[in-house]
Structure 1
C-alpha cells in the first residue's frame, strides 16, 4: 500500500540527500510562506538576500550559454533553520532543463547558507513552513531572485 503525504507539495524526507539532524517541528501541518501576513519571510527581506548574493557570489564564465529558471524549494522549521532542499530546473520556455551541476551547487550553497529566516506562529505555536526561491538566469548570470 502506498502512503500519501498530508498535503500536495509536502516534501518527504530522503535519507540520501537530507540532513538526518534537521528537525521537523510539525510534520502533520503544512504552511506556505505566503500564509503569513509579514510579507517576505526573511530578515531584511529580499533586499538583504540580494545584497548577500552580490557580495559573496560571482558568475563563472563556464555558465555563459545557460538561461532559464532554477527553483529551490525547502522547509523552514520552527527554529528558523532550513532543510529538505529540492531543486527544479527549466529553460526559458518552462521546459525541463539541466543546468551545469557546478552552477546548481553554487545556488544551493547560497540558499543553504541563508540564516535570516523568520520564525512563524500559528495559534500561538511556532510552526514549519515551505519557502521557495527562483533564480532567473540569463546567459549564466543570475538576473533576479524571486519571489
Structure 2
C-alpha cells in the first residue's frame, strides 16, 4: 500500500511538472518579444540564429542608441520629403516598434498610438498607415555586434503629432 501511494505521488508530481512546462512555453523568452504573426509579418524575414523562432533579441537600450546610417537627422530629412500629415487636427503619439536582424533588415513591425493624454487611442488610420509604411521603407539600419557576435535588436520610432503633423521623432 505504501509503495502504491509513493508511486502515485511520484507519477502525479511528474505529470504536474510536465503541465507546468507546457504552460510556461506560451510566454516570450524576454518581456517585450514580438511573436511572429503570419497575418502581419513578412514570411521571408528571419531572425539570426534559428530563423523566425530565434530565442533572444536585444532591446533598443542594449547599445549605443539609434543605429541608422546618417543617424536620426537622416530619418527626419526623409520624413520631411515625404510630407506625411493628417487632414485632422489631432495631437498624440504614434510608436512603431520593430526588429532589426543581424543583416540590418527589418521586420515584425507593431504600431501603437495614444492621444496627448497618453491614453491608447487610434488617432487617424490613414496617418498611422503612412507612418508605418514610412518606417518600413527606412533601409539604413545597421547590424549590431555585442561581444563580437552579430545580434538582432528591437528598435522603435515614436512620432509626436501636433495639429495633424509630425513635430518630433523620438528617440
Same fold (TM over 0.5): yes
Aligned runs of 1:68-147 on 2, under 5 Å? 68-147=92-171
1:43 aligns with 2:69: yes
**More displaced 10-residue stretch of structure 1: 107-116 or 117-126:** 117-126
CA distance in 1, matches of 2:76, 2:103: 23
CA distance in 1, matches of 2:70, 2:61: 17
Q: Which is higher, the Rg of structure 1 or of structure 2? A: 2
SS of the residue corresponding to residue 61 of structure 2 reads helix
What are structure 1's unaligned runs of at least 5 residues? none
Contact 2:84/2:131, CA 8 A, preserved across alignment: no
CA distance in 2, matches of 1:16, 1:25: 21
CA distance in 2, matches of 1:58, 1:107: 7
Contact 2:98/2:107, CA 8 A, preserved across alignment: yes
Which ranges of 4 or more aligned residues in structure 1 deviate by more than 6 Å?
none
Higher helix share: 2
Task: Give the CA RMSD over aligned residues.
Answer: 1.2
Q: Which has the higher contact order (CA 8 A, sep 6+)?
A: 1
Number of corresponding residues: 144
What are structure 2's unaligned runs of at least 5 residues? 1-21
SS of the residue corresponding to residue 34 of structure 1 reads coil
Contact 2:84/2:166, CA 8 A, preserved across alignment: no
| TM-score, normalised relative to structure 2 | 0.80
CA distance in 2, matches of 1:33, 1:43: 16
